[in-house]
Structure 1
Amino acid sequence: MIAIIGGGPAGIALGLELDRRGVAYELFEAKTLAATWRAVPSGVHVLSPWWTNVLQYRQALHGNPLRKPPAEVYLAHLEKMAGQLRGTLRTGCRVDALRADGNGGWLLETAAGGHGSYRAVVMATGYFATPRPAEPEIATDGSLPMLHAADIVDYGQLEGLRDGELPVVVVGKRVTAGQLLLELDARAIPTALSIRSGLQYRRHGFVASIRECAYFFWEELQARLVPNLRRASFPVMEGGATERLVGSGKVAVLPVITAISNGRLLLADGRQQAAAAVILATGYHPGLGLLPTGLEVDAYGIPKNADFQLQAMPGVHLLGFDNVYDHRSRYLRGIRADAARLADRLALSAGDARTR
């Protein structure tokens, strides 16, 4: 029996692949299946074309395969895929601890009691449950609202941060930060951006869209020709309207915020800035809190693995994390292929176990 921890795209994709191979599994999800996508604000879109993100290839032709649909469309896709799962699904069941059973298997501890023993455990717990604070962390006396982008489930919440002409300051410089700038500007809420280093923008416009479309076909081919291709994988801020907001000075660019005191931001260059609120668009930590501390990590901050399996914990596997297999592994477009690869390994080990 396999235990899958996490019911997001990675967990669902792996369940589908294990079903195809006739491998039994139990899936544990602390909330509901696809919980992260249920909490994404309307207006957020997937980052790459539809055909790259679907969990089954045949779903790619359901609508324009080149479109980048909004979150609610992708959620409907996940719900459809989850409805096909044949394993045991334990939703609302948070795994609190993972420990070896002494016989080469693993036990899971939940609020409902112990579960096990499992010959393999797959950590498909993703990133979005563990928001990353600003680095360096901002000391605050609580005099200004400060929240993480993960706390925003409806962009209407931004109205509650409005305070006259004082800016809402977004901390970060990647995709989420850019989306927040656009949403604040659409509501005529004064905005500023706090960053540690220079901004980069993703190409924007018709020609850029054609090049991007071609890129994803090339990336798919490259992934097949060059297995285990690992490299930095963080996308930069969208260009176009976002770049114009910053370039025109409508969105002021501030240095690092070191502290919040008496309703003002203390900046790294010694200045002070009055503000209405601070939103952290600072990303997420990998959701690997069940693993022991002190494991040796690779260049991408993930415990070292061999073919998805942790080197230090035989039988425990990772899925959906940065560069676990290649540079696409943390993204929707990499999960489908990685789930099939991992399912092959798990099915092979199950067959080996039956023949012994």
Structure 2
Amino acid sequence: MTQPTEPIVIIGGGQSGLAAARAALQAGLRPLILEASDEPGGSWPHYYDSLAAFSPARFSAMPGLDFDGSPDRYPHRDEITAYLRRYAATLDVEIRTGTRVETVEATDDGRFVVRTAGGAQVEAAAVVAASGSFTRPIVPALPGAESFTGRLLHAADYRSPKDLAGQKVVVVGGGNSAVQIAHELTGHAQVTIASRAPLAFLPQWREGRDVHHWLVSSGFDDLPPAWLIHHVHARLVMDGGDYAQAVESGTLVRRPMFARLDGEHVVWADGLRERVEVVLMATGYLPDLGYLAPLGALDEYGLPLHQGGLSLVRPGLAYLGLEFQRSFASNTLRGVAADAAHIMGPLAAHARRAPAQVGL
């Protein structure tokens, strides 16, 4: 069996990059992680202060390393950051921190050249893009935004409710982050959540078990996107009971998305004008993959052309950490290892020049 002399380069040292490195080792490859920040851990250190995992520790661990403590608690942001750094230390892989990738180019023989912001050049047998999306927040074009005299923020900018204490805030979005942020702001600010569709709550507990027990034991976690659309018709919000109750009681006010911004006002769909000081958009993120532009591997919106994480354009290029990449559990701590295993077989075959070995 022909072994590649070049490493398989993994761009990003968060949960996806670490899962890719472990899968590469198991496939007999030599992974090299290039991480832009000073330590592995991905986006977790940069999220808002109160964020905790939506799944209990027993369902949040990656293969080979359990969380310490009670398996039924929901690990906090800082605990997950520390966990990922411990996980990185268990892997016998080279991790180059402070190394931001600027471009990836293809060679004539199917290899890749990875160029970094520091001027370094790395030759790669294959590439895994696992750089996440935190650095590319979705900022929708809000009508009248150019006239708004208040502050326009994204959830990526948000850290703590004390930063917005005493202000009138509209949180835009209908997912977990929007509801979590709006709910924790209710005790500190006058807050309204604005969403295009009614909030859809998924109870965190059923029959005495966290919903992740049912997601895993039933196989729901493994359902592909093409099947999920027949069952999931709205963006679901995990709710331990507090969120739905807050909406029903009026403690957390939800209104249909406003029509526009106008000076210091939000103009609601019914024509009501309300003075607000902050509009905070919890509107999600997109994969930040601009460094792949030279490969022609992205569509017009900068999104990857892929199937299950494998590039449809460039053999030897794969992705990890995409939302619904292959299943409901993709892009989660509990699901990323399965996606990593899925992509690594084809990547190993490419790195070992499998077509040439069979005479093609």
TM-score, length basis structure 1: 0.85
Following the alignment from structure 2 to structure 1, what is the Cα–Cα distance between the partners of residues 270 and 341?
Answer: 50
Equivalent of 1:140 in 143, 146, 166: 146
After superposition, residues 64-83 of structure 1 pair within 5 angstroms as 64-83=70-89
Q: Decide which moves more: 337-346 or 229-238.
A: 229-238
Following the alignment from structure 1 to structure 2, what is the Cα–Cα distance between the partners of residues 167 and 46?
Answer: 28
After superposition, residues 144-155 of structure 1 pair within 5 angstroms as 144-152=150-158, 154-155=159-160
The number of aligned residues is 343
- Whether contact under 8 Å (1:132, 1:283) holds in the other structure is yes
Alignment partner, residue 343 of structure 1: 344
- Whether contact under 8 Å (1:201, 1:237) holds in the other structure is yes
Deviation digits for residues 7-52 of structure 1 (CA, Å, limit 9, x no counterpart): 1100011112223343112211111311411122333111122232
Alignment partner, residue 329 of structure 1: 330
After superposition, residues 1-356 of structure 1 pair within 5 angstroms as 1-31=7-37, 32-56=39-63, 58-60=64-66, 62-134=68-140, 136=142, 139-152=145-158, 154-155=159-160, 158-163=161-166, 167-187=168-188, 189-204=189-204, 207=206, 210=209, 212-220=211-219, 223=222, 231-232=228-229, 234-236=235-237, 238=239, 240-292=241-293, 303-306=304-307, 308-352=309-353, 356=357
Gaps (5+ residues) in structure 2? 1-6
CA drift of 1:211 comes to 5.9
Following the alignment from structure 1 to structure 2, what is the Cα–Cα distance between the partners of residues 70 and 239?
Answer: 16
Cα gap change, 1:194 to 1:22, in 2 (>3 Å): same
TM-score, length basis structure 2: 0.84
- Whether contact under 8 Å (2:105, 2:114) holds in the other structure is yes
Deviation digits for residues 199-239 of structure 1 (CA, Å, limit 9, x no counterpart): 111215x546526143133245873xx78875357532525
Following the alignment from structure 1 to structure 2, what is the Cα–Cα distance between the partners of residues 208 and 132?
Answer: 37
Deviation digits for residues 289-313 of structure 1 (CA, Å, limit 9, x no counterpart): 233398676xxx9534345321112
- Whether contact under 8 Å (1:54, 1:336) holds in the other structure is no
- Whether contact under 8 Å (2:103, 2:293) holds in the other structure is no
Cα gap change, 1:221 to 1:201, in 2 (>3 Å): closer
Q: Given residue 33 of structure 1, which amino acid in structure 2 is its aligned partner? A: P
Structure 1 residue matching 2:247: 3-state secondary structure? helix
- Whether contact under 8 Å (1:101, 1:117) holds in the other structure is no
Following the alignment from structure 2 to structure 1, what is the Cα–Cα distance between the partners of residues 319 and 227?
Answer: 16
Cα gap change, 1:139 to 1:10, in 2 (>3 Å): same
Structure 2 residue matching 1:30: 3-state secondary structure? coil
CA drift of 1:341 comes to 2.7
Structure 2 residue matching 1:12: 3-state secondary structure? helix
Identity score, percent: 28
Gaps (5+ residues) in structure 1? none
- Whether contact under 8 Å (1:265, 1:273) holds in the other structure is yes
Structure 1 residue matching 2:236: 3-state secondary structure? coil
Following the alignment from structure 1 to structure 2, what is the Cα–Cα distance between the partners of residues 214 and 81?
Answer: 24
Following the alignment from structure 2 to structure 1, what is the Cα–Cα distance between the partners of residues 255 and 238?
Answer: 17
- Whether contact under 8 Å (1:34, 1:79) holds in the other structure is yes
- Whether contact under 8 Å (1:127, 1:285) holds in the other structure is yes
Following the alignment from structure 1 to structure 2, what is the Cα–Cα distance between the partners of residues 330 and 61?
Answer: 19
Q: Given residue 104 of structure 2, which amino acid in structure 1 is its aligned partner? A: L
Q: Decide which moves more: 345-354 or 328-337.
A: 345-354
Structure 2 residue matching 1:290: 3-state secondary structure? helix
Following the alignment from structure 2 to structure 1, what is the Cα–Cα distance between the partners of residues 221 and 138?
Answer: 31
- Whether contact under 8 Å (1:201, 1:239) holds in the other structure is no
Deviation digits for residues 158-211 of structure 1 (CA, Å, limit 9, x no counterpart): 333234xx5211111111111112211233x2111111121111215x546526
Q: Given residue 312 of structure 1, which amino acid in structure 2 is its aligned partner? A: V
Cα gap change, 1:87 to 1:355, in 2 (>3 Å): farther
Q: Given residue 338 of structure 2, which amino acid in structure 1 is its aligned partner? A: A
Following the alignment from structure 2 to structure 1, what is the Cα–Cα distance between the partners of residues 181 and 23?
Answer: 36
Cα gap change, 1:141 to 1:336, in 2 (>3 Å): same
Q: CA RMSD in A?
A: 2.9
